[in-house]
Amino acid sequence: MDRYPPINSGYPHFLHGGDYNPDQWIKTPEIWDEDMRLMKLANCNTMSIGIFSWTSYEPEEGKFKFDWLDSIMDKLAANGAYAVLATPSGSKPAWMSEKYPQVCRVKADGTREAHGGRHNHCRTSPIYREKCVIINTELAKRYKNHPALLVWHVSNEYNGDPCYCDFCLEAFRQWLRVKYNNDPDKLNNEWWTTFWNHTFTDWSQIIPPDNSIHGLMLDWKRFLTHQTIDFFKTESAPLREYTPDVPVTTNFMGTYPGLDYWKFAKEVDVISWDSYPSYHDRDDDWKYAVETSFSHDINRCLKGGQPFMQMECSPSVQNWKPVNKLKRPGLHRTEALQCIAHGSDTIQYFQWRKSRGGSEKFHGAVVDHCGHEYTRVFREVAGVGETLLKLDDILGTTVKPETAVIYDWENRWAIDQTEGPRNEKKDYLPACVAHYRQFWSAGVPVDVINMDCSFSTYKLLIAPMLYMLRPGVSERIERFVADGGTFVTTYLSGISNENDLCFLGGFPGPLRKLLGIWAEEIDVLYDDEKTIIEAVEPNPAGLSGKYKAGLFCDIIHHEHAEVLAVYKNQFYAGKPAVTVNTFGKGQAYYVASRNDERFLRDFYTCQIRKLNIRTVVRCNLPKGVTAQMRSDGKHEFIFLLNFTRDKYVIDLGNELFRDIENGSEVLSHLELPGYGSRIITKPV
Ligand code: GLA
Ligand code: ZN
SS3 state of residue 129 = helix
Cα 166 to ligand 2 centre (Å): 7
Beta bridge partners of 625: 642
Residue 159 scores a pLDDT above 90: yes
Alpha carbons 77 and 147: distance in angstroms, whole number: 6
pLDDT for 654 equals 86
Provide the sign of the torsion angle of the four alpha carbons 77, 83, 89, 92, taken in this order. Answer: negative
For residue 173, pLDDT beyond 90: yes
Please say if the pLDDT value at position 214 is more than 60: yes
Least confident of 233-237, 572-576, 668-672: 668-672
Q: How many CB atoms lie within 10 A of CB 170?
A: 13
The pLDDT value given to residue 118: 97
CA–CA dist 682, 638 (Å, integer):
8
In this structure, which amino acid lies at residue 262? Answer: W
Q: Mean pLDDT across the stretch 429-439?
A: 98
Which pLDDT score is estimated for 55?
Answer: 98
The rounded distance, in Å, linking the Cα atoms of 401 and 459 is 9
**Residue 651: beta bridge partners?**
669
Angle CA(394)–CA(395)–CA(397) in degrees, nearest 5?
Answer: 70
Question: Is the pLDDT assigned to residue 280 strictly greater than 90?
Answer: no
* Mean predicted confidence (pLDDT) in 495-524: 98
Domains 403-610 and 625-683 share a fold: no
| Residue to substitute in 314, 316, 360 for testing ligand 1 pocket (most ligand atoms within 8 angstroms of CB) | 360
Give the model's confidence band at 631: pLDDT under 50 very low, under 70 low, under 90 confident, else very high: very high
Residue nearest to atom 4 of ligand 1 (CA): 350
**Confidence at residue 84, expressed as pLDDT on a 0 to 100 scale:** 98
Please give the pLDDT value at position 432. 98
Q: How far apart (Å, rounded) are the C-alpha atoms in residues 16 and 564?
A: 50
pLDDT reported for residue 212: 95
Q: Does residue 533 surpass a pLDDT of 80?
A: yes
Tens of pLDDT, residues 593-605 = 999 999 999 999 9
pLDDT at 16: 98
Q: Which atom of ligand 1 approaches the CA of 157 most closely?
A: 8
| Rounded average pLDDT over 92-108 | 98
Ligand nearest to the CA of 86: 1
Tell me what pLDDT residue 165 has.
Answer: 98
Question: Hey, what's the torsion of the CAs at 444, 450, 453, 456, to 10 degrees?
Answer: 40
Give the global pTM: 0.98
pLDDT confidence bin for 476, thresholds 50/70/90? very high
Q: Report the amino acid identity of residue 14.
A: F
- Cα–Cα distances (Å) from 25 to 35, 64, 72, 139, in that order, read 11, 19, 12, 21
Ligand 1 centroid to residue 202 C-alpha, Å = 42
Nearest protein Cα to ligand 1, atom 7: 274
Of 350, 352, 355, best ligand 1 pocket probe by most atoms within 8 Å of the beta carbon: 350
Which residues belong to the active site?
A: 157, 312
Q: What's 88-100 look like in SS3? A: CCCCCCHHHHHHC
Measuring CA to CA, which residue among 502, 520, 498, 527 is closest to residue 423? 527
| Rounded distance from Cα 350 to ligand 1 centre (Å) | 6
Closest CA to 406 of 320, 356, 474: 474
Cα-Cα end-to-end distance for the chain:
16
Mean of pLDDT over the chain: 97
Fold of 625-683: Immunoglobulin-like (2.60.40)
Q: Give distance in angstroms: CA of 217 to centre of ligand 1.
A: 28
| Closest Cα to atom 3 of ligand 1 | 350
pLDDT above 80 for 612: yes
User: 655, 682 in Cβ contact below 8 A?
Assistant: yes
Topology adopted by domain 403-610: Rossmann fold (3.40.50)
- Taking only the tens place, the pLDDT of each residue in 335-384 is 999 999 999 999 999 999 999 999 999 999 999 999 999 999 999 999 99
For residue 250, which ligand has an atom nearest its CA? 1
Pairing label, strands 346-349, 403-406: unpaired
Q: Which of 155, 272, 312 to mutate to test the pocket of ligand 1 (most atoms within 8 A of CB)?
A: 312
Q: Is the pLDDT of residue 274 over 90?
A: yes
Domain positions in the chain are: 403-610, 625-683
**Burial classification of residue 240, based on how many CB atoms lie within 10 Å of its CB (0-12 exposed, 13-18 middle, 19 or more buried):** middle
What is the model's pLDDT at position 473? Answer: 98
Q: pLDDT band at residue 1, thresholds of 50, 70 and 90? A: low
The pLDDT assigned to 282 comes to 80
Which ligand 1 atom minimizes the distance to the CA of 318? 12
The predicted pLDDT at position 281 comes to: 82
SS percent in the chain: helix, strand, coil, step 5: 30, 25, 45
The Cα 453–Cα 456 span in angstroms is 9
What HEC string does 31-44 produce? Answer: HHHHHHHHHHHCCC
Looking at residue 114, its pLDDT comes to 96
Helices (H) and strands (E) in the chain, counts: 17, 25
Average pLDDT over every residue of 278-302: 94
Q: What is the pLDDT of residues 51-79, one digit of tens each?
A: 999 999 999 999 999 999 999 999 999 99
Amino acid residing at 125: S
Instruction: Tell me the CA–centroid distance for residue 169 and ligand 2, in Å.
Output: 7
Ligand 1 atom having least distance to the Cα of 253: 7
- pLDDT band at 668; cut points 50, 70, 90: confident
Distance between alpha carbon 136 and the CA centroid of its chain, in Å?
A: 27
Q: How far, in Å, is the centroid of ligand 2 from the Cα of 490?
A: 39
Name the nearest CA neighbour of 152 among 74, 15, 245, 35. 245
Residues near ligand 1 with C-beta < 6 Å? 156-157, 274, 276, 312, 318, 350, 360, 363
Angstrom distance (rounded) from CA 400 to CA 403 = 9
